[in-house]
Amino acid sequence: MNERAQAAGSFVEAAKAGEIPVGQFKAVQAGGKRLLICHADSGFYAVDDTCTHDDGPLGDGWLEGTEIECPRHGARFDVKTGKVLCLPAAVPINSYRVQVDGEAVKVNVHEVMPK
């Protein structure tokens, strides 16, 4: 199996859709990473649980729309892409490809969304 086919088949269940209401997120361990599964109006997103500014725990922060704010110094990231929206962070977080399969929210940690 080539690398691309292997990555495509690497979705792992990270959460149940019904356990994360819209506007909230859940911290999970999936694919060997600490992730946040975020449920925005536009769907589910999976991002790293660690802020790139100074390793703050994004899971202690706030989700508003598709923006997550770090509780330590207020950096904000777009959960759809991982892009930085507000300093002091300068480096994006990773946002991973998500697939909803019935009740299962699955994440592929080998596929990072383009910034």
List interacting residues with ligand FES (CB under 6 A).
51, 53-54, 56, 70, 72-75, 88-89
CA distance linking residue 21 with residue 3, whole number of Å: 35
Q: How many DSSP H helices and E strands does the chain contain?
A: 1, 10
Vertex 28: Cα angle to 2 and 4 (nearest 5)? 10
Nearer to ligand FES, 40 or 51 (CB): 51
Q: How far is the CB of 57 from ligand FES (least distance, A)?
A: 9
Q: How far is the CB of 99 from ligand FES (least distance, A)?
A: 28
Q: How far is the CB of 29 from ligand FES (least distance, A)?
A: 21
CA distance linking residue 70 with residue 57, whole number of Å: 7
Nearer to ligand FES, 15 or 70 (CB): 70
Nearer to ligand FES, 28 or 75 (CB): 75
Report whether the peptide linkage leading into residue 114 is cis, meaning its omega lies within 30 degrees of zero.
Answer: no
